[in-house]
Amino acid sequence: MNILTEKFSTPYHSAPFNEIKNEDYLPAFKELITNSEAEIDAIINNSEEPTFENVIEALAFSGEQLDRASNIFFNLNSAETSDELQQIAQEVSPILTEYSSKISQNEALFNKIKKVYDEREKYNLNEEQQMLLSETYKGFVRSGALLNEEDKEKLKKISMDLSLKSLQFGQNVLASTNNYFKHITNKEDLAGIPDAILEQYAEEAKERTLEGWVVTLQYPSYIPFMTYAENRELRKEIALANGKKSFDGGEFDNQNLIKELLNLKQQKAELLGFKNYADYVLEERMAKSTTKVIDFLNELLTKAKPYAEKEIEELKSLAKADGIEEMQGYDHAFYAEKLRKAKYDLNDEELKPYFPLEQVQEAVFGLSKQLFGLTFEERNDIPKYHEDVKVYEVKENGEYKSLLYVDYFPRKGKRAGAWMTSYKNQYKKDGENSRPHISIVCNFSKPTKDAPSLLTFQEVTTLFHEFGHALHGMLANTQYPNLSGTSVKWDFVELPSQFLENFCYEPEFLKTFAKHYKTGEVLPDEKIEKIEQSKNFMEGYQTLRQIGFGLLDMNYHSRVAELEGLSVKEFEDNYTKATQLYPANPETAMSPSFSHIFQGGYSAGYYSYKWAEVLDADAFQYFKETGIFNSETAAKFKVLLSSGGTKDPMELYKNFRGSEPKVESLLKRAFG
């Protein structure tokens, strides 16, 4: 018996992590693909007249067990991978891509879909059904259903190559990150670094059976070093190692892979009738066109750059006082922290005791209850994939609403960063509302023998950010799984997450949970005031940084021909120079580890972070006008969250806000 092919007998049919063995995956995928193909064949061979129910709806509900197995496998490959799992991923990805292509390019199936689509007026469909029909038809066309047989084969091969190469890209970044560590034996080299961080470095050394301290390129290790270490040469060395990730000509170098990925995407776009991959992607976004995105980013660049330059001048004067004539990128975090402390008398280490992870989690749980009526109860009887993971049953009015997995600490098998994902989608079928299983994965500092996990304020906002995504998933209330939760236009998906971050800066809310883990003392008013004042600290610099990523992404995916005669480094420098505030370093490049666009789903979509900031600033402005805990405003926002992709996002937004979002809301919040 293969556990992945059976109906799970766990509470709420949750993933039976404790019973899954690595050798189960490949045979399970093969069997489940066969089963799913049989469901597709049943739709095709149905002799009845094609209808919305027997074609579109039947297709939406097909392959559920395969989707679940895929979610389990690929989520674990990000959060708890191993050499064996990565090897299986290399075998599984082409099989799944082939299966997907086989369906999306199945002529008999598409003919039935097209017939229903062409005759849609006669079906009297509700709004959600119309959206499902439209998205299904468009999805097939965008996957090559209208191509001839030869081009279909080409597209299938391109899709398979893309899935394998993007997987390889991520594996290279992870290996390159894990391969480096800096072993330090002289404590003087660690001057300026707070005791709690030193303890973390000592623990890392102990795990490697080394004396002294170890700094790695994992963010909870790397960021504090760059922020506090007084030793400039060491900052330079470690920053250089970080900037060389997958850019050192070695085994895990991604430069050729980037060119291969971009060429494949361009070929795919051209086959489907688009000028470039950016145009292909943006057809399905709120922004609609490459020109609109680049104009949007350039408008922000023009407005933000003077603020950014002024911020950097302030830092340079601090560095000059230390005898540094030309400040470099690796000096930024150190002097920004100095300036922040001078201006607001705040540093992460003195704030951290007020933000123990469990307290912050309780705060976000409490906020979810206050705004949306959700409660969270830990369950110890639900299987989990690692001992660090906790599982919560989420309820609304006492009724089961969702499962929430939280996985907070770094491990060797976990990729860097923070993300929300799903193990099971929500949908309604046969009179039952089948609820979602959602997961949040982060990389916060682990508890030590003397202290719980203490978060920097930025990590507090990270947790709120990912929880905003989780709410989008947990509150889902749609008919069909492929329109549920975060299945929305990509430049709309960051609205809930970025919206929730705003609460972290509201004094009345902060006071409810920012309490010293030892004494219970509430974070003093003057510090809360300074957090509020420091909200826009280095906002110009951060905005330029995000715009730089967005412009680079958009140009990679719309000007791939230019890359022919250039190195990845040259191309990157060309399209980020307008946003660069420090001298470029010839030895480093960020593109080879830019996982968002070369491994994740942000290809030609990185701009959506700034796009969604306009939405979130405008949405929170509405909350501030009506009262940040106003139940009517929260109820309207809950409708937006629970509607998933059932309506056009701009329509959803206008139903909530009463008008379209205004870019002025973002500029006002950022620069006053």
Q: Which residue in 496, 464, 531, 529 sits closest to 620, CA to CA? A: 496
Residue 555 lies in a domain: no
CA angle 475, 505, 366 (to 5 degrees): 40
Alpha-carbon distance of 298 to 547, in angstroms, equals 8
Alpha-carbon distance of 641 to 619, in angstroms, equals 13
Look up tokens 């040259």; give the residue.
570
Domain that holds residue 127: 3-104+106-146
> Is pLDDT of 176 > 90?
yes
- What is the average pLDDT score of the chain? 95
> Is pLDDT of 444 > 80?
yes
Alpha-carbon distance of 37 to 100, in angstroms, equals 10
pLDDT of residue 535: 86
For residues 211 and 91, membership in a common domain is answered with: no
For residues 123 and 228, membership in a common domain is answered with: no
Residue 15, class by beta-carbon neighbours within 10 Å (0-12 exposed, 13-18 middle, 19+ buried)? buried
Residue 220 lies in a domain: yes
For residues 361 and 235, membership in a common domain is answered with: no
Residue 222 lies in a domain: yes
Residue 640, class by beta-carbon neighbours within 10 Å (0-12 exposed, 13-18 middle, 19+ buried)? buried
Catalytic residue among 349, 393, 459, 466: 466
pLDDT of residue 394: 98
Alpha-carbon distance of 267 to 262, in angstroms, equals 9
Residue 89 CA to chain centroid, in angstroms? 20
Q: Which residue in 550, 63, 102 sits closest to 294, CA to CA? A: 550
What is the domain count for the chain?
A: 3
Give Cβ neighbours of residue 422 (< 8 Å, ≥ 6 apart).
71, 436, 437, 438, 439, 473, 485, 486
> Is pLDDT of 449 > 90?
no
pLDDT tens readout for residues 539-549: 999 999 999 99
Q: Decide which of 486, 505, 520 is a domain's last residue.
A: 486
pLDDT tens readout for residues 583-597: 999 999 999 999 999
pTM, 2 dp: 0.82
**Mean pLDDT (whole number) for 78-85:** 95
Q: How far is CA 254 from CA 564, 589, 655, in A?
A: 16, 11, 44
Alpha-carbon distance of 289 to 295, in angstroms, equals 10
- Using the CB atoms, write b or e for 574-598: b if 16+ within 10 Å: ebbeebebbeebeebbbbbbbbbbb
For residues 137 and 191, membership in a common domain is answered with: no
Residue 318 lies in a domain: no
Give the amino acid at 545: R
**Mean pLDDT (whole number) for 119-125:** 94
For residues 478 and 367, membership in a common domain is answered with: yes
Question: Domain containing 90 — which CATH number?
Answer: 1.20.1050.40
Q: Label the pairing between strands 399-407 and 437-441.
A: parallel
For residues 361 and 234, membership in a common domain is answered with: no
Percentage above 90 pLDDT, the chain: 90
For residues 378 and 467, membership in a common domain is answered with: yes
Q: Decide which of 430, 457, 486 is a domain's last residue.
A: 486
**Mean pLDDT (whole number) for 438-460:** 94
- The answer to whether 276 and 269 have CB atoms below 8 angstroms apart is yes
> Is pLDDT of 347 > 90?
no
From the DSSP assignment, how many helices (H) and strands (E) are in the chain? 27, 9
HEC sequence for 246-306: CCCCCCCCCHHHHHHHHHHHHHHHHHCCCCCHHHHHHCCCCCCCHHHHHHHHHHHHHHHHH
pLDDT of residue 349: 86
Residue 652 lies in a domain: no
- The answer to whether 411 and 431 have CB atoms below 8 angstroms apart is no
CA angle 47, 53, 54 (to 5 degrees): 25
pLDDT tens readout for residues 47-70: 999 999 999 999 999 999 999 999
> Is pLDDT of 488 > 90?
yes
DSSP result, 201-222: HHHHHHHTT-SSEEEESSHHHH
State the virtual CA torsion across 141, 144, 148, 154 in degrees, nearest 10: 170
Bridge partner list, 392: 378, 404
- The answer to whether 335 and 355 have CB atoms below 8 angstroms apart is no
188 annotated active-site: no
Residue 298 lies in a domain: no
> Is pLDDT of 126 > 80?
yes
Q: How far is CA 156 from CA 103, 105, 151, 618, 642, in A?
A: 11, 9, 8, 42, 35
Q: Decide which of 486, 501, 526 is a domain's last residue.
A: 486
Residue 436 lies in a domain: yes
Q: Which residue in 60, 214, 231, 173 sits closest to 597, CA to CA? A: 173
pLDDT of residue 662: 86
Token pair of 210, please? 């080394």
Question: Domain containing 435 — which CATH number?
Answer: 3.40.390.10
Instruction: Give the pLDDT band of residue 424 (cuts 50, 70, 90).
Output: very high
Q: Considering only the C-alpha atoms of the chain, give the largest distance between any 2 of them, rounded to a whole number of Å.
A: 82
Residue 215 lies in a domain: yes
Instruction: Return the DSSP state at 435.
Output: P
Give Cβ neighbours of residue 29 (< 8 Å, ≥ 6 apart).
66, 69, 70, 73, 92, 95, 96
Residue 373: φ, ψ to 5°: 75, 25
Residue 39 CA to chain centroid, in angstroms? 32
> Is pLDDT of 450 > 90?
no
Instruction: Give the pLDDT band of residue 474 (cuts 50, 70, 90).
Output: very high
Instruction: Give the pLDDT band of residue 463 (cuts 50, 70, 90).
Output: very high
- The answer to whether 272 and 151 have CB atoms below 8 angstroms apart is no
The dihedral of CA 178, 78, 645, 56: what is its sign? positive
CA angle 560, 564, 570 (to 5 degrees): 85
pLDDT of residue 231: 98
Give Cβ neighbours of residue 93 (< 8 Å, ≥ 6 apart).
160, 163, 164, 167
Residue 518, class by beta-carbon neighbours within 10 Å (0-12 exposed, 13-18 middle, 19+ buried)? exposed
> Is pLDDT of 341 > 90?
no
- The answer to whether 120 and 55 have CB atoms below 8 angstroms apart is no
Alpha-carbon distance of 284 to 287, in angstroms, equals 8
pLDDT of residue 534: 86
The dihedral of CA 459, 461, 467, 468: what is its sign? negative
Look up tokens 């965008």; give the residue.
142
Instruction: Give the pLDDT band of residue 670 (cuts 50, 70, 90).
Output: confident
pLDDT of residue 348: 83
Q: How many CB atoms lie within 10 A of CB 142?
A: 18
pLDDT of residue 667: 84
pLDDT of residue 123: 92
Alpha-carbon distance of 265 to 355, in angstroms, equals 44
Instruction: Give the pLDDT band of residue 495 (cuts 50, 70, 90).
Output: very high
pLDDT of residue 634: 98
pLDDT of residue 105: 84
> Is pLDDT of 672 > 80?
no
Q: Which residue in 54, 53, 64, 55 sits closest to 13, CA to CA? A: 64
